[in-house]
A and B are shown apart, each in its own frame.
Chain A
Amino acid sequence: QQPVQSPQAVILREGEDAVINCSSSKALYSVHWYRQKHGEAPVFLMILLKGGEQKGHEKISASFNEKKQQSSLYLTASQLSYSGTYFCGTVDIRDNYGQNFVFGPGTRLSVLP
């Protein structure tokens, strides 16, 4: 089942902050975050794992609440280069084996000068 993201879109001025949320109705073993610029492939930002471990982009912060099955991505002091669509994703482990990866619908972020 696809994770839910909010907001669907957000417009910021340079220097402002934004929070993007991701939630799932299923238990999460990890949450992945990717950014996609228009006309390009998605690019990895970070992974948040159960137990608090994180892997990824040093300049981006995120949180993972395992009990609530939620994650949030924090974009502080936004720059023009932060514009793009942000996707969260997670693994739908079927039958305790599979590695079906499911992305959320995306949050479109526009940073204006």
Chain B
Amino acid sequence: EAQVTQNPRYLITVTGKKLTVTCSQNMNHEYMSWYRQDPGLGLRQIYYSMNVEVTDKGDVPEGYKVSRKEKRNFPLILESPSPNQTSLYFCASSYGRVVTYNEQFFGPGTRLTVL
């Protein structure tokens, strides 16, 4: 089944404790992206990747890191989480490098709480 998977689905952590949220897709998509969703603010892009080893900042990259060493995986790293990073996170992927013309497939989401 074609899908985007994220792990973990739920995470409660404490300020400053490094964490990684994994994202994997099995559709051979080149474009991958991370979004955070907060009430009243909609979906905001954190980082995106147009291909292996090619990543770029979205609208809210501060406090996050990403890497794209393999085509199928795009982990999101919070080196020193803070309470303002409490949010619902979605990973998405899209065919081709140019998302302008292609739909995005979303993972199920990861609900992160930072205490």
Query: Which residues of A does B touch, CB under 8 Å?
Result: 2, 29-30, 32, 34, 40-44, 47, 49, 55-56, 87, 89, 91, 93, 98-106
Query: Which residues of B does A touch, CB under 8 Å?
Result: 31, 33, 35, 40-45, 48, 50, 56-59, 90, 97-109
Verify B101–A41 contact, CB threshold 8 A. no
Indicate whether A101 sits within 8 Å of B98 (C-beta atoms), given known contacts A42-B43, A42-B90, A87-B43. Answer: no
CB distance from A97 to the nearest CB of B (A): 9
* Set B45, B97, B107: member contacting A102, Cβ < 8 A: B45
Number of A-B contacts (CB under 8 A): 67
**What's the Cα separation between A47 and B103 when bound, in Å?**
7
Verify B31–A49 contact, CB threshold 8 A. no
**What's the Cα separation between A103 and B59 when bound, in Å?**
11
Verify A43–B44 contact, CB threshold 8 A. no
Verify B50–A99 contact, CB threshold 8 A. yes
Verify B98–A103 contact, CB threshold 8 A. no
Verify B107–A41 contact, CB threshold 8 A. yes
Verify A99–B42 contact, CB threshold 8 A. no
Chain B residues with CB below 8 A from A104, complex form: 42
Chain A residues with CB below 8 A from B44, complex form: 103
**What's the Cα separation between A44 and B92 when bound, in Å?**
11
